[in-house]
Amino acid sequence: MSLAGSISKDPRVIIYIAAVVLALIFVLTPIPGYVGMNSGLKYGLDLEGGSWLQLELEGAIVQLDVDPVNILEREFQGAWVVEDVSRRGDSYVITIDGKVPETLPEDLGYPGSRVLVRDNTTRITVPISPEGVVVNYLKTRLDSDVRIVGVEPVRYEIRSNVTREQLDSILSEVNGRVAPGEDTFISGLTPETVDETKEILDKKLNRLGLKDIKVRVVDNRFITIDLAGVNVSTAEEVVGKPGKFEIRIQVGPNETRHVVYGDAVESVDLPRGDRSGMWGVPFTLSEEGALAFQRIAKEVGATRNPKAHEVSMYLDKDEIFSAPLAPELASALDKAPMRNLVAEVGTGDAGSRKAKELYIHLREGALPVNVKIIGSGQVDAALGSQFKFQVALAGILAILAVGLMVFYRYRERRIVLPIVCTSFSEVIMMLGIWSAAGWQLDLASIAGIIMVIGTGVDHLFIITDELLHGERITERSEQEAKGVLLTGKIYLARLSRAFYIILGAAVTTIAAMIPLLWMGFGALMGFALITIIGVLIGVGIARPAYGRIIGYILGEAA
């Protein structure tokens, strides 16, 4: 059997060739709608030109010393006299001298309250926990989203820029304060909030057609964004610009009517499930928005026949929710406007996932925390093109350097070509995976590719030296050279010994890269990721094939 025929039937070589061909398809197939070089590769800020932003997330995690009774007394005082505030089970009961409007509790942010008037005395039962009272007070006074993030002790996450002094001043009005101690006021946010902010930014940028934008988190307080092909002013506008949110009501089979835009949505709460397992996303409309919602719902007949008039939500003209009004909500809207609504999406795990997605979409109009741009910059497109040329040149020089080093070491042309081709094919396979995943190629990832070439050549040297058993093919004739080479079991033993060394080196390299990948700090993440991919491609595909190919070439394979 000929040499080519023997190699072509080896399963390791077949897998190797198939991987290279598949990688070439991914690399050479243009990306639809991508403005860049006509290939399947996306280029990052360094190579494409564009801008970068650094954002600081404003917020604090605090522990407070405040009595909810004092808060309720102050909030319900107004033009009336609060005679008593007491806690009854899971609720607070506020007794007021005189009659108050039935909408007073909802206006103060306490929906679901019961108002009972008897003998010129009003008794309001508010179903809320002590922590809920504190959250509602801080939301109102700070005009900010507030979350409970700790149980023992109770801690609150304030999602806006606030200082300890400002918070003490607000709480002093209800005889409260920030609890004493250095760890009771921490500038920063929880990892969950930072991840939520990052996810919203990702969705917003991708929705605008800016695919694979690099959004990275640093120290749970800062976010960096690379926007290839986008100038600084556009980048700042894109990040700060909310998505266009709209609520519409179905009028006919293919006709809907506008109700309100996103500016009518004052707040969005976390998804929650009720006792029946139904998941929903609570949100609050402004007073004007609630009036418009009621008026149009009545005009189109949604309050009388909800199933025929579904309520739809759109974000940048994409429908993100559609469902009829709940019967009890339809009945209530027929009598009065409702500010606090819940978009119910389903039950079980599927309902939970849909609720989270809807929550993210609703929050795209405004990030969950206040952000401040603390840094920005731009890479000129011409400079990016220059970097591309320099990187391509560096890659070619690296391959040539590999060839020269191989020839200098072995002085044998039939060894030079397999090593150079193997190194080059590893680059193709790495780029193929990068292209298939849709990741951006930047200077850091290219540095990783060049490093993989270097370590890969070392591994190929180990395989070759083990097969030659330390003998250099220099002045011997081909027949003499074959005389020092062994076949069969000895060949396999030497190849196995080489792979034992290579696997140890590969594991060491991957272990060194994992901390960089786990930290995800800036461009180092791309460097670490492509290095790990390159090493795995080498030990899993390229090295086994090279071992068989060089064996056939040197007359080793049986």
Average pLDDT, the chain: 80
**124 lies in some domain:** yes
Q: What is the pLDDT of residue 470?
A: 43
Contacts 24+ apart (CB under 8 A), 322-331: 325/297, 330/297, 330/302, 330/303, 330/304, 330/306, 331/303
Q: Which of 147, 181, 215 is the last residue of a domain?
A: 181
Q: Identify residue 2 by its one-letter amino acid code.
A: S
CB 156 within 8 A of CB 138: yes
Quick check: 381 pLDDT over 70?
A: no
- Model confidence at 523, in pLDDT bands (50, 70, 90)? low
Residue 364 domain-assigned (yes or no):
no
CA dist., res. 509 & res. 220, Å (int): 28
For position 522, what pLDDT does the model report? 55
The whole model's pTM is what?
Answer: 0.56
For 529-548, write each residue's pLDDT tens digit. 899 999 999 999 999 999 88
Domains in the chain, number? 3
Give the domain range for residue 318.
Answer: 247-341
Co-location of 45 and 66 in the same domain: no
437 and 497 fall within a common domain: yes
What's the average model confidence in pLDDT over 488-496? 73
**Which residue(s) pair with 92 in the sheet?**
87, 126
Do 45 and 84 belong together in one domain?
Answer: no
Q: Are residues 407 and 544 in the same domain?
A: yes
pLDDT at residue 171, rounded to an integer: 94
Q: What percent of the chain has pLDDT over 70?
A: 81
**Are residues 425 and 286 located together in one domain of the fold?**
no
Q: Is the peptide bond before 337 cis (omega within 30 degrees of 0)?
A: no
DSSP assignment string, 118-183:
ETTEEEEEE---HHHHHHHHHHHHHTS-EEEEEETTEEEEE-S---HHHHHHHHHTTT-EEPSSGG
Give yes or no: residues 449 and 539 share one domain.
yes
Q: Give yes or no for residue 364 having a pLDDT over 70.
A: no
Query: Is 244 a residue whose pLDDT tops 70?
Result: no
When pLDDT is averaged across residues 410-417 and rounded to a whole number, the result is 81
Q: Verify that 264 and 285 share a domain, yes or no.
A: yes
What is the Cα–Cα distance from 191 to 434, expressed in whole angstroms?
28
Domain edge (last residue) among 319, 341, 363: 341
Please check whether residue 321 lies inside any domain of the structure. Answer: yes
Same-domain status, 448 and 477: yes
